[in-house]
Homo-oligomer: A and B are copies of this chain.
Amino acid sequence: MPKIRFVIGMDGGGTKTALIAASLGGEILLDHEGGPSNFQIIGTKRAARTLVSLIKKTLETLGEDSSQLGGVVCGLTGAGRDHDKERIREAVLAEAKNRRIAVPDVWIESDARIALEGAFKGAPGIIVIAGTGSIAFGKNEKDEIFRVGGWGRVIGDEGGGFVVGRDALKAVARMLDGRGEKTKLSKLFETEANLKDQQSIISFLYEDGKDPATLAPLVIKAAAGGDEVAQRILTSQAEELAEHVGALVQKMRIPRRIPLAIIGSMGLADHQYGRLVRTKISKRVPSVLVQDQAAPPVYGAVLMALKRLKLQPVS
């Protein structure tokens, strides 16, 4: 029986899929990128095709046989629930069989789970994901996982781009109705997104199905320009994320300070909102230590694959 020599980690989302192949010591052998693999949008079959193509390309590039591959961990957007994980796992195995690639174990994880693993290179910590949606995830010394948030856009996703954009549209609607105060967001949305009246806003939301998250950068811009309504939206959403962290730390009962990384487009340190999120979290939850992520989610997937093989990277 040939000896296992490497593992594969993947991070698949709505725009692309990243892959890293790593040695059993955790050294990166290669990285690839493929198309999207958000199975809830493009379907499990197409997602599986993308994932298996990337595996195949990796084997070819490395010149290795799949019998030397110890395992594959795929962290996928939308793979939070067990039956979804099973569904996509079966699709990947079927697709691999179809293409005559003898893949070993394939494990499906959520994108949040691999991000948590990557952020602290497998060590305990907390991540706050603030992209279009939001969620807070933590892991303690006993490898137990805790979660706060992740309720989706209808009742959750506080602090993410969707809620920021939606609340800004709400403020514009109130102003146009004469129910709410004046905000520069109205002018900004008109010039930058052609949202000038009720008709255009309703078409944007309900007919064209556009994502309010696309407006979040304009809200950040308006806030930087001194618009109070925009500033209030960002402040309240940053506070919501801090509340997530507060509740998470309570659940985790951690004995000492724990590192926290903020991940996702809304958490970037180079804009006012990202800085605000950092400040609010540090202030509300002094037991966390905000820092940058140590490694990207795709490397977290590699670490999880090694762990499954009971191997820890040398690092």
Contacts and interface: CB of A to CB of B under 8 A. Distances in A.
Given A178-B250, A247-B178, A251-B178, A170 B156 contact: yes
Nearest to A162: B154
B177 A166 contact: no
A179 interface: yes
Interface in A147-205: 148-152, 154-156, 166, 169-170, 173, 177-179, 198-199, 201-202, 205
A155 B251 CA distance: 32
A216 to B, nearest CB: 14
Nearest to A81: B199
30 contacts: A81-B199, A81-B202, A148-B177, A148-B179, A149-B177, A150-B198, A151-B170, A151-B173, A151-B198, A151-B201, A151-B202, A152-B202, A152-B205, A152-B206, A154-B166, A154-B169, A154-B205, A154-B206, A154-B212, A155-B166, A155-B169, A155-B170, A155-B173, A156-B170, A177-B244, A178-B247, A178-B250, A179-B244, A179-B246, A179-B247
Q: Work out how many copies of this chain go into the complex.
A: 2
A65 interface: no
A67 to B, nearest CB: 38
Nearest to A199: B81
Contacts of A151: 170, 173, 198, 201-202
A156 B173 CA distance: 8
A150 B173 CA distance: 10
Contacts of A250: 178
A177 B212 contact: no
Given A81-B202, A156-B170, 11 more contacts: A151-B170, A152-B202, A152-B206, A154-B166, A154-B212, A155-B166, A155-B169, A178-B251, A179-B243, A179-B244, A179-B247
A84 B257 CA distance: 58
Contacts of A243: 179
Contacts of A173: 151, 155-156
Classify the secondary structure of A's interface with B. helix
B152 A247 contact: no
Given A166-B154, A170-B156, A205-B155, A177 B247 contact: yes
Contacts of A166: 154-155
Interface in A52-110: 81
A150 B174 CA distance: 11
A173 B240 CA distance: 13
